[in-house]
Amino acid sequence: MMALGTETRTGGETGTACNGDAGSVAAAARSAGDAGLFGLFAEDPARAVAIIGLVKNAGKTTVANAILTHVRRRFGLTSLGLDGERTDHLTGLAKPRIVPPEGTLVATTTGSLDRSRCCMEIVAELPFRTALGRVVVGRATGGSPVEVSGPTTLAQVRATVDALIGLGAERVLVDGAINRLGSASPRVTDGLIMATGGMVGDSFDEAVQTTADTFEMLTLPAADEQTLRRLGVERRGARDAGSDLRGQPEPGAAGPEGGRPRLISVDERGRQRALDVTTAIGEGVAVCREIERLGTRTLYCSGALTQDFVDDMVRVLPPQRRLRLVVRDATVLVLPALWVSRLRRRGVDLRVVDPLRVLAVTANPFRLPQPLNPTLFFNAVVEAIGDRAPVFDVVNGLDHRPGGAVDARTTCSSESLA
């Protein structure tokens, strides 16, 4: 059942087309569905946006190409990892290539440029090197596909985004590596597009459920100001100039040997104490015992939150134990998304210091050996997401936005949006 108070438009129905033939109807449908995403993207103030794929073949490259083509901005483009290669190394199938329009600033490696045989005007060389060579910034001449392999650490991606903006990019797209959420961190980008697909689960229902669970994880609520004051932790606004990914200490109580505390406990009286551990990894049982000893009501974890740690927490803490667990942002969760709801059922209220901005969700029905029904999959994703974010299928012209949508059946073309 569709959520009330919203509209969903599909491009699969017969309608008005510019030329009157079936191909034009399909093209019109796709254009109309795309236009909603393009309009949203053009109007949003985000300077840097990550495109996060939940699985291989989720449609990240297709979404990136569509945005680059139809939104009238001078774009910068880079990747955390590798994208735009000719062939999917897992399936052996041909992949869509990234074709940046003329003038796009692309940060990639010299090795990727050589492999893609793309001619670009090199305008800058960045102080980063990967297994594929030096990271350089080139200006695309248009019409040529390029393999994008950017830097490999978040600090380098952040610096690359800043460099692209400094060279004149009005918007920067960061293509996130598969199963890595780091590029969506508020310290790297200002918002994200979550790309899901039919291959994210072993069945239709599992694909939809995984999509819903991941969206739930990415949109974890922010901790309130009183909680942050008690923890001695400050928010770091989107790409805050003061945030340093290279190890600048977090505000708060002193940790072991005077360094940055990995775990901070606050009891019901508001008393703060740094736990005497250097990492939460492999220390779940010991941390849970400290939580009980100190009467912890709020626990702040400044680093990664792993599945092993959460599993220990679920096993060791008493059944009726209530705890608020705060992490920096959702990108530090190194665990299956479904564990967020498992923690909630266990009485653990998971919050973040800096919430992520999910600008949109895109749905791709591609699946091997046979694609899912586009409309059924799209509608199921819409129902799972509800009114919390717009959902688009840029290939099949499906468009759902809370509060209204473009009608795909009467739109003939998608203009480039200012």
| Angle at which helices 338-345 and 307-316 cross, to 10° | 20
Q: Are 206 and 54 in contact (CB under 8 A)?
A: no
Residue 161: partners with Cβ closer than 8 Å, 6 or more residues away? 48, 76, 78, 172, 174, 188, 189, 239
User: 247 is written with which tokens?
Assistant: 């190890």
pLDDT value at residue 383: 96
User: 217 is written with which tokens?
Assistant: 């994880």
Q: Each residue's pLDDT tens digit in the chain (418 positions)?
A: 333 334 444 443 333 333 333 343 334 444 544 567 888 888 889 999 999 999 888 999 999 999 998 888 899 999 987 754 556 655 566 677 899 999 999 999 999 999 887 788 999 999 999 999 999 999 999 888 999 999 989 999 999 999 999 999 999 999 986 667 889 999 999 999 999 999 999 999 999 999 999 999 999 999 999 999 999 999 986 555 444 443 343 444 444 344 567 899 999 999 999 997 766 667 889 999 999 999 999 999 998 899 999 999 889 998 878 999 999 999 999 999 999 988 998 899 999 999 999 999 999 999 989 999 999 999 999 999 999 999 999 999 999 988 644 333 223 333 344 4
Residues of the chain with CATH 3.40.50.300: 6-219+356-402
Between the alpha carbon of residue 109 and those of residues 18, 30, 151, 152, 249, the distances in Å are 42, 33, 8, 11, 31
Q: How far is Cα 75 from Cα 281, in angstroms, rounded to an integer?
A: 39
CATH 3.40.720 fits 225-237+250-352, yes or no: no
Q: Are 237 and 187 in contact (CB under 8 A)?
A: no
Q: Where are the alpha helices (DSSP H) in 297-399?
A: 307-316, 338-345, 374-385
Q: Are 51 and 174 in contact (CB under 8 A)?
A: yes
Half-sphere exposure of 91 (CA within 13 A, CB side): 15
Residues of the chain with CATH 3.40.140: 225-237+250-352
Q: How far is Cα 339 from Cα 310, in angstroms, rounded to an integer?
A: 8
Kind plus residue range of the DSSP H or E element containing 245: none
For 358-408, write each residue's pLDDT tens digit: 999 999 999 989 999 999 999 999 999 999 999 999 999 999 988 644 333
pLDDT value at residue 240: 55
Q: Are 33 and 365 in contact (CB under 8 A)?
A: no
Q: How far is Cα 365 from Cα 372, in angstroms, rounded to an integer?
A: 5
pLDDT value at residue 115: 87
| Structural fold of domain 6-219+356-402 | Rossmann fold (3.40.50)
pLDDT value at residue 16: 31
Q: Are 70 and 62 in contact (CB under 8 A)?
A: no
Global confidence as pTM: 0.83
Would you call 6 helix, strand, or coil by DSSP? strand
